[in-house]
Amino acid sequence: MHICCGPCAIYPVDALRERGFETHGYFFNPNIHPCTEYEKRKKTLQDYAERIALPVVYAKEYPIEEYFRHVAFREAERCRLCYTIRLRQAAGIARHGKFDCFTTTLLVSPYQKHELIREVGEAAGREFNIPFHYEDFRTGFKEATTRSKAMGMYRQQYCGCIFSEMERYRRKDDER
């Protein structure tokens, strides 16, 4: 399971485990900016994964340059490009690790583009010959939010990319 952050992992991991999936995580998120934000999300996931005995592979690289090269001058397509970078990498890792399928915690957020994630995930699955497990985990978003707050987990206020952070501040300015 590609994991974007600890709080988003709560519900999908529980739901899949309840149905008998042996779940492993993969943290690869070159979109997250700045680097301090990346480290906070990684540390939060490490602490949570240890708490629930979730094996997680952490990408050795943080190729933020690759992310920026992909989205530069294509900002309107940034979500598709970002999903593609991350889900292709996750599919490759899942294939290499001989897993039965792969998925992503991005599917828990009501703020993400689910149909686009599904489309990109299925394309990556075909490319790497490993099925993409699409499941609408949004039903557990509120539960995961409540639980993550109760555990004192670091909770971010934007998807991770610099564009999303900018939009968050612009919305606040517009509300004034």
CA angle 87, 112, 108 (to 5 degrees): 80
Give per-residue pLDDT as tens, 26-44. Answer: 999 999 999 999 999 999 9
Mean pLDDT of 149-176: 74
Sole residue written with tokens 């686009």 = 116
Residue 23: pLDDT over 70: yes
Give per-residue pLDDT as tens, 126-140. Answer: 999 999 999 999 999
Nearest to 52 by CA among 91, 86, 18: 18
Nearest to 100 by CA among 129, 120, 136: 129
Supply the mean pLDDT for the chain: 92
Q: Which two tokens stand for residue 37?
A: 């934000």
Q: How confident is the model at residue 173 (pLDDT cuts 50, 70, 90)?
A: low
**What is the percent of the chain with per-residue pLDDT over 90, rounded to a whole number?**
80
What is the distance between the alpha carbons of residues 98 and 135, in angstroms, rounded to a whole number? 21
Interior/surface letters 36-50, b for 16+ CB within 10 angstroms, e for the rest: ebbebbbebbeebbe
What is the pTM assigned to this prediction?
Answer: 0.92
